[in-house]
Chain A
Amino acid sequence: MKKPVSFVLILIIALFAVNCYAAPSSVNGSDAGNIANIVIVKKPETAISSTTKQIYTVSAVSVPGVEIAIYKYNPSTGLFDILTDSSGNAVVATVGASGLFVRDIELSENTNYLLIRAQYGSLYQAIRFDITLLNQGLLDSIKGFSANFKSVFGAW
């Protein structure tokens, strides 16, 4: 009697493990994964970018059923830790039928070293990208300096 029950339990656990592949809390930034074509990061468009927006929207296109999570570099461990939103929930979602993924993240000042990880069963892909958050005041000062420079020396 115990054997069939144990078998069913093991089966349930195995199935659960396949379907609900929870994103790891930390990952290594140098590990690009074991597959290369299950996610495209649409925004940011390039691996290195700058912005003045503290609340930044990341968008991606993937395959239905893929779980996507966003990570941020932790200098104290050298690993990338999963990001959490203002409510403390991990920034992770399973892609639906549309294949679209859109999430807001909060950036900190200066360069944010980020990673997006897509996982489907045992297959996973990681894409690294960096976003530098510029202070709007600093940007205004640079623009002001540029304008003054042009007025004094003329435009190029």
Chain B
Amino acid sequence: MKFRKTKSLILTLLIVCSLVLSVRVWFDEKLWPGGYNFFIMFKNTPVFSKIFNSEPSYSMPKENLSRPQKIVITNKDKRTVFYNSDSSFDSVNEIVKNFFTQTLNSKDNVLNSSTVAEDEWYDVLRNDELLDTRSIYVDYSLAYSPELFAHFIGIQNSWLEGDVAAVKEFIIAPVNSDNVNALFYVKDFSNNSIMKYYISYSDKGALDTAVSRYVKKTDDSNSFAFELNLDNRSGGIGSGVVQKVFLDSMVTVSTSTGDKPVIESENPLKSGGFSPNAMLNVFEYPNVSPRHYTDVDGTEYFVENYSVLKIFPNGVIEYTADKDSMGIEISDDLSLYESLNRAIEFSENVWNAVVPDEPFNVLVTSDLTESRQNDGEYTFYLDYYCYGSPVTVDVDGINHAVEIKVKSGKIISYRHFIRKYFSAGYSVNPIPMIDALDEIYSSFSSSEDEIEIKDLYLSYIDDGSFGDKTPAWSAEIRGSEKLFYIKGE
């Protein structure tokens, strides 16, 4: 009797072992590397990939989404602008991020709230008059839906969703009061209305540190355009001159520019070591016998699964699905958050298939606001980031490093301009901002048109050539999709 029990136990153990080993073999990617492995395809479906890949890995593009583009700290007559490439930016951003996560997590922190006029928003920032201004202005490079913003700063939900439709700019003003520790202003990007919240914040000391320790007296006053009255035609001493160029109120006007590094670029598809097989895996093409031919100009075409994958010699990778339903499935959740996350991960996979050991330093540059019209259809743009400045791509009608179209959880079109950037070993001093504005206005229009500059910043321009790339001033003009730029030297 005892012997039979032992035999049954051994038999059961052997069966379990064989099952475990079989599953391991079936799911091993090495078994059929051609891409036809049914079990791998099964494992890669969105539902199972969540189970198998539960541990989140570090993602530079996602990390970049949680970082503001610019933080402006004003302490009475002093002001410092921190761009996200500056050495002390991370320390300041840590203080801001902690405030956001703690404050937005629970409405218990909000003691009172009201809608305020635009003048109050300006007065909290203004430091050119006799105001006791202590404020932290936080500007993200793109607009987010409040839900998405909450996700990227590391919280599940935020009470902000009920009050505003889209966020991009915030002001934190520490105050000395028994209950209220800070005033928190949020501008609704969708309609420019401003909400003011009276906040109870346990780490108020950190805010005081930010405005006292990190702000320095500099030779450049870094005025906002509204402080210089360059955002409107009213006011001023004198008359009779017609102002043609207006700046958005929140553009910071600098009168001096520091040295900026010059960069070089490289096409990793040409520099050797690139094998299309890894790329084919990412696009779920079989490695064994894809329909493949090469054009006379060197463009490689792969045709499979009702789609075409093209690898151009200039570094562009382009995928197009013949039908929307035949795209590459990345998510079964059609929300903006899920679609964006999976699209970013897909672009990281493409990058890693070409240059596995290099960081993929890109920033999402399309606004991330969800509307009913989206209905699971999104277009995401990503652009390279180098030494704290965006790289503007301008190659044969391509204006972004990555363009991804997602519909109903499937990538239906994908274009990636693959480039590596590195320092050329020297720096230059770009021309002053106002001089750049003169040149941009000259190139924009020969007539007497009025224009409004939404933003003006230093960037690098990649026109596909491989020479040195000096910093260039780029202007976003209201009413125009096109980015205007001039060389910054």
Which residues from chain A contact B230 at a C-beta distance below 8 Å? 42, 59, 61, 100, 102
Which residues from chain B contact A134 at a C-beta distance below 8 Å? 130
A123 at the interface (CB under 8 A from B): no
Stretch of A2-10, A12-20, A74-82, A91-99 with 4 or more beta carbons under 8 angstroms from chain B: A91-99
Q: How many A-B residue pairs have CB under 8 A?
A: 128
B110 at the interface (CB under 8 A from A): no
Q: Is the CB of B238 within 8 A of A98?
A: no
Q: Is the CB of A86 within 8 A of B76?
A: no
Most A CB within 10 A of own CB, among B76, B127, B219, B237: B237
Bound state CA distance, A68 and B278, in angstroms?
A: 61
Number of residues from B at the complex interface, CB < 8 A: 38
Closest to A129 in B: B237
B439 at the interface (CB under 8 A from A): yes
B438 at the interface (CB under 8 A from A): yes
A108 at the interface (CB under 8 A from B): no
Known: A52-B130, A57-B223. A40 touches B237 (CB 8 A): yes
Closest to B445 in A: A97
Known: A45-B236, A100-B230, A102-B434. A61 touches B243 (CB 8 A): yes
Of B132, B238, B438, the contact of A39 (CB 8 Å cutoff): B238
Which residues from chain A contact B245 at a C-beta distance below 8 Å? 98-100
Cβ proximity bits A4-48 to B, threshold 8 Å, 1 near / 0 not: 000000000000000000000000000000001111111111110
* Distance between A20 CB and nearest chain B CB, rounded to angstroms: 18
Bound state CA distance, A45 and B129, in angstroms?
A: 11
Bound state CA distance, A43 and B241, in angstroms?
A: 15
Bound state CA distance, A148 and B213, in angstroms?
A: 28
A69 at the interface (CB under 8 A from B): no
Most B CB within 10 A of own CB, among A41, A57, A143: A57
Bound state CA distance, A62 and B223, in angstroms?
A: 20
* Distance between A57 CB and nearest chain B CB, rounded to angstroms: 5
Known: A100-B230, A134-B130. A42 touches B439 (CB 8 A): no
B221 at the interface (CB under 8 A from A): yes
Known: A59-B228, A59-B230, A127-B237. A51 touches B219 (CB 8 A): no
- Would you call the interface of chain B mostly helix, strand, loop, or mixed? loop
Of A42, A52, A63, A143, the contact of B77 (CB 8 Å cutoff): A52
Q: Is the CB of A43 within 8 A of B228?
A: yes
A110 at the interface (CB under 8 A from B): no
Q: Is the CB of B434 within 8 A of A101?
A: yes
A54 at the interface (CB under 8 A from B): yes
Bound state CA distance, A100 and B230, in angstroms?
A: 8
* Distance between B287 CB and nearest chain A CB, rounded to angstroms: 56
Which residues of B in the span 430-489 have a Cβ within 8 Å of any Cβ on A?
433-435, 437-442
* Distance between A94 CB and nearest chain B CB, rounded to angstroms: 10
Q: Is the CB of A51 within 8 A of B128?
A: yes
Q: Is the CB of B129 within 8 A of A51?
A: yes
A53 at the interface (CB under 8 A from B): yes
Of A38, A50, A56, the contact of B241 (CB 8 Å cutoff): A38
Which residues from chain A contact B240 at a C-beta distance below 8 Å? 36-38, 40
Q: Is the CB of B442 within 8 A of A100?
A: no
Closest to B76 in A: A136
Which residues of B in the span 230-266 have a Cβ within 8 Å of any Cβ on A?
230, 235-241, 243-245, 253, 255
B88 at the interface (CB under 8 A from A): no
Which residues of B in the span 85-135 have a Cβ within 8 Å of any Cβ on A?
127-130, 132
A109 at the interface (CB under 8 A from B): no
B229 at the interface (CB under 8 A from A): yes
Bound state CA distance, A129 and B243, in angstroms?
A: 21
* Distance between A133 CB and nearest chain B CB, rounded to angstroms: 10
* Distance between A38 CB and nearest chain B CB, rounded to angstroms: 7
Most B CB within 10 A of own CB, among A56, A101, A129: A56
Closest to B444 in A: A97
Which residues from chain A contact B403 at a C-beta distance below 8 Å? none
Bound state CA distance, A56 and B132, in angstroms?
A: 17
Bound state CA distance, A101 and B437, in angstroms?
A: 11
Bound state CA distance, A102 and B128, in angstroms?
A: 15
Which residues from chain A contact B127 at a C-beta distance below 8 Å? 53
B169 at the interface (CB under 8 A from A): no
Known: A53-B127, A56-B128, A98-B244. A44 touches B77 (CB 8 A): no
Bound state CA distance, A101 and B130, in angstroms?
A: 24
Known: A40-B239, A41-B237, A61-B236. A102 touches B130 (CB 8 A): no
Bound state CA distance, A86 and B218, in angstroms?
A: 12
Which residues from chain B contact A60 at a C-beta distance below 8 Å? 236
Closest to A50 in B: B130
Which residues from chain A contact B253 at a C-beta distance below 8 Å? 57, 59, 102
* Distance between B436 CB and nearest chain A CB, rounded to angstroms: 9
Closest to A85 in B: B219
Which residues from chain B contact A46 at a C-beta distance below 8 Å? 237
Q: Is the CB of B228 within 8 A of A42?
A: yes
Q: Is the CB of A54 within 8 A of B77?
A: yes
> Can you pick out 8 interface pairs between chain A and chain B where the beta carbons lie within 8 Å of each other?
A40-B238, A43-B228, A54-B217, A59-B229, A63-B241, A96-B439, A98-B441, A104-B255
Q: Which residues of B contact A (CB under 8 A)?
A: 76-77, 127-130, 132, 217-221, 223, 227-230, 235-241, 243-245, 253, 255, 433-435, 437-442
Query: With A43-B229, A63-B241, A104-B220 given, can you name 17 additional A-B contacts, CB distance below 8 Å?
Result: A39-B238, A40-B239, A52-B130, A53-B128, A55-B221, A57-B221, A59-B228, A61-B230, A96-B435, A97-B442, A98-B245, A98-B437, A100-B230, A100-B245, A102-B255, A102-B433, A136-B76
